Each structure stands twice: as structure tokens, then as C-alpha cells.
Amino acid sequence: MPFTGSAHPGNRTPSTPGRITWVIAGASTLFLVASVLWWMSGSSPSSAEAAPTPAADTQASVAGVTEATTASAADAAATATPASTDATAAAATGTPPVAALESPDAAGTASGELTPATRGASVNADPVIVSAPATGATIGDKGPDSAPEPARDPLAAAPATAPTVDLPTALGMVGTDPIAARLQLTRLVDSGTLSPEAKRQAIEAITTVNATLFFSSTVNPADALMTTYTIKSGDALSKIARKAGMAADWRMIMRLNGIKDPNRIRAGQVLKIPTCTFHAVVNKSEYRLYLYAGEGADRVLVATYPVGLGEHNSTPTGAFMLKPGSKLVNPEWRNPRTGEFFKADDPKNPIGERWIGLQGVDAGNSKAMSYGIHGTTDPASIGKQASMGCVRLKDADVEVIYEALTEPNSTIVIVP
């Protein structure tokens, strides 16, 4: 039984001292919360006036990068777009993203595709190559107006080693010592002392010797220009050329060994491999290109080919080298005079199947960067001044020159 005057246990109320305690506790809590909010708002004079140091910024950036690299790669891939990916790469490198280079084909047709009726009208024009090197330099013949002045010393790169025997003696050596005969006949041709008929005889004899010494699979052990290689499992002709240190295109191996299909070679097969560097001399007055193997006093003549030259004597003279990245098989090109565009494999393509870009290296022709050696669809122009300045050959002949001349090894000298 409860005492008189006491409250029911379920309705007990706090006493006056208890109420005072609760009020004080609540006020303290509100003050503490207000203080924390005020501090976080940055209203503190010390935080408002403080400026981050460069070191602090750097550390923050590194920390951000570190945190970013620990994120899930799957999450990043799921949320990234091409644009955001480019932007991220740009931010990481400090440079804006670079768009893909326009393809040579696109560059060649930027002004609109030409119709068949606009192609093949001119067979005497030389190229502005569409399939240009990645450097962006234009390759091609700009015409006679761009021809540089002749070099002061166009024969500077040509050796002048006197023969040690006369022509009859050299001709008599062909059957007994073809290697020595080829060297002496070459020196006689280079000497400039032979009459036109005597020179013709010497060149014919060299051609006869090289039919076996050079343009066949027969290897003369005494010939320093050639060596042999035995094919191993896994070899390819291009790989063999690199392993042998050839200063010539791998297609030269096919030519010398009578290989019709580069994919049909077998392990154990012995190949004839050239060990020499090839050079060329173009004699404008003769309309003829001379292909040499070796250098200096030991160089020998490999073959000669008739050429066509620039109209109005526009083919520049002097020493040249191959323009880097300018050897092209089956090139496209645009006629710089008419704008006509020829695709690869177009039978009307005036420059044929090969293009070898040249650049002048003499003081007098150092700006001659737009000339080259190429084939032609107009064989009747060989032996004439019919091009815009380039040296043109018959298609079968230019293939040999393409295989022989290499960059940066070969020198091409054009003499008046």
C-alpha cells in the first residue's frame, strides 16, 4: 500500500534539481555544436589568411594521383568515354591530345575523288607522290621552274682510277680471269679515254661477264662482291637480308637466285648474297644510267640502262642521295600540273611501279628535293627530254635500280 502523498510509480516526474541539470547539459551541447560548425566554416582568421605552399600543392597532386591509381580499373573503364580518356591523357602529359595523322590516301583525295575520265591524260608528267613519308615532306617533281643551278663539281663523287691495261688486253681477259677483266674494263669506261665504239665494246664485255658473275646463282669464290647463305628453318628473304647485312633490297636475292616466289624457299638451300653497296651515275649527254657495285678504286660496273630526262634540260646535276623514306613500290601520285590523280595499280600511272626519291647533297643542288628515279608507261620517251626533271627508266630496268640503291648508303651522281 503506497504512502500518503506519493505519486504513482508510472507517472513519476523529475524534481527541480533534475530539470536544471538537463537544461545545463542541453545548452552545453548546443554551444559545442555551434563551435564546431563555426570552425569548419573556415571563419578562423588563421585558416583564412594561410596560403598553401608549392610543396603542399605538389604533395596534394601526388596524393590524388596515387589515390586515382588505386581505384578499380573496371570502374574506370565502365565510366570513361573517349573524350574523357583523351582529356585524362592530356592532363597527365601536359599536352593536348593529338589526332591521328591523316592517311596518304585521304590526303590524296581531299579535294574530291577524280573520275576515270580525268585520269591518264598525260604520260610525260612526273609525280607529286601521294604516299609521302611520315615527315610530311612532299615528294615529286615540281617541274623545270624548280630546277636548281648545276653543281660546281658534279664529278666530285666519281673515282678516277686509271686502268693498268689497254682495251684489247682487258677484252682478252674475259675468258680467263673475268673478275680482273671486269675491273679493268670498268676503269677503261670511267677513264673517258675510249672512243664511242671502244666504249660500246667494253660495256658489252662487262655485260657478258656479269651475266654469270652477277645476274646468276653461280658464285665465284674469288668474287669479293658476293657471298653465300644457307637457309635455316624460320628464315624469310627479308630476314636473311638483315642477317647478312645487305646494302640492297631483299628482292635482289630473288633476282640473283632465280626465285619466283619468296614464300617457296626451303631450309638447306644455298643462296647467293651481294656484299657490296651500289651507286649510280646518270650521264645526261648519253641518256644512260650506270649502276656500280663497290666503291672507290675497286668499284665495278654492273649494268647500264637507257633513261629519259627532264624537258628543257631540267634534270639537275651533282651528287644526290636517296631521300629518307622515299623508296616506294606501286605508288599513287598526283600530276602537279594538271591535278590528275592516279591510284596504285592504275595501268595508266605514268611513273610505273617504282619511285626512288632523291635529294641533292652538293652546294649547288642542296635544294633539289623533288626529283626522283621512276618507271614509265611511255617507253618511247626513253632517250629523250620528256619528263619534268626526273630520271625515268623502263619498268624492268627501274626494278633493278630499286633493288640496288639504298638509303643512306648509295650515291647517285648526275653529270652533264
Q: Is residue 7 part of a domain?
A: no
Whether 274 contacts 268, CB under 8 Å: no
Instruction: Note whether 171 and 235 are same-domain residues.
Output: no
Q: What is the pLDDT of residue 369?
A: 76
Q: Mean pLDDT throughout 304-309?
A: 97
User: Please, where are the H alpha helices in 250-394?
Assistant: 251-257
Q: What is the pLDDT of residue 26?
A: 57
Give residue 31's pLDDT band: very low, low, confident or very high (50, 70, 90). Answer: low
d(CA 250, CA 193): 37
Give residue 34's pLDDT band: very low, low, confident or very high (50, 70, 90). Answer: low
d(CA 52, CA 384): 78
Instruction: Note whether 329 and 294 are same-domain residues.
Output: yes
The amino acid at 181: A
Q: Is residue 292 part of a domain?
A: yes
> CA–CA distance from 313 to each of 143, 189, 394 (Å)?
11, 25, 20
Instruction: Note whether 173 and 136 are same-domain residues.
Output: no
Question: The domain containing residue 176 runs over which residues?
Answer: 160-216
Query: In the chain, how many domains are there?
Result: 3
Instruction: Note whether 284 and 372 are same-domain residues.
Output: yes
Report which of 384, 326, 331, 328 is spatially closest to residue 357, judged by C-alpha positions: 326
Judging by beta carbons within 10 Å of its beta carbon (0-12, 13-18, 19+), is residue 313 exposed, middle or buried?
middle
Judged by average pLDDT, the poorest of 1-15, 140-154, 159-173, 243-257 is 140-154
Q: Is residue 339 part of a domain?
A: yes
Instruction: Note whether 318 and 407 are same-domain residues.
Output: yes
> Is residue 125's pLDDT more than 90?
no
With a pLDDT cut of 90, the percent of the chain lying above it is 50
214's grid cell: 652477277
320: helix, strand or coil: strand
> Is residue 142's pLDDT more than 70?
no
Higher per-residue pLDDT: 410 or 110: 410
The β-bridge partners of 174 are none
Q: E strands within 180-299? A: 226-230, 270-274, 278-283, 288-293
Give residue 54's pLDDT band: very low, low, confident or very high (50, 70, 90). Answer: very low
Instruction: Note whether 203 and 344 are same-domain residues.
Output: no
Instruction: Note whether 286 and 397 are same-domain residues.
Output: yes
Q: Is residue 411 part of a domain?
A: yes
Q: Mean pLDDT throughout 28-46?
A: 49
The amino acid at 189: V
* Domain CATH code at residue 259: 3.10.350.10
Q: Is residue 144 part of a domain?
A: yes
Q: What is the pLDDT of residue 47?
A: 33
Q: Mean pLDDT throughout 289-308?
A: 95
Q: Mean pLDDT throughout 32-61?
A: 38
Q: Is residue 52 part of a domain?
A: no
> CA–CA distance from 248 to each of 158, 313, 333, 400 (Å)?
20, 31, 25, 10
Cα within 13 Å of Cα(283), Cβ side: 13
Q: What is the pLDDT of residue 158?
A: 52
User: Please, where are the H alpha helices in 70-195?
Assistant: 73-79, 82-93, 104-108, 167-172, 178-191
Instruction: Note whether 149 and 290 are same-domain residues.
Output: yes
Q: E strands within 171-317? A: 226-230, 270-274, 278-283, 288-293, 300-306, 309-310
* Domain CATH code at residue 127: 2.40.440.10
Q: Is residue 124 part of a domain?
A: yes
Which of 216, 235, 258 is the last residue before a domain boundary?
216
Instruction: Note whether 339 and 408 are same-domain residues.
Output: yes
Instruction: Note whether 376 and 326 are same-domain residues.
Output: yes
d(CA 322, CA 303): 20
> Is residue 334's pLDDT more than 80?
yes
Q: What is the pLDDT of residue 51?
A: 34
Instruction: Note whether 337 and 205 are same-domain residues.
Output: no
Cα within 13 Å of Cα(389), Cβ side: 25
The β-bridge partners of 306 are 288
Give residue 257's pLDDT band: very low, low, confident or very high (50, 70, 90). Answer: very high
328: helix, strand or coil: strand
110: helix, strand or coil: coil
> Is residue 300's pLDDT more than 90?
yes
Q: Is residue 169 part of a domain?
A: yes
Which of 216, 239, 258 is the last residue before a domain boundary?
216
Instruction: Note whether 327 and 340 are same-domain residues.
Output: yes
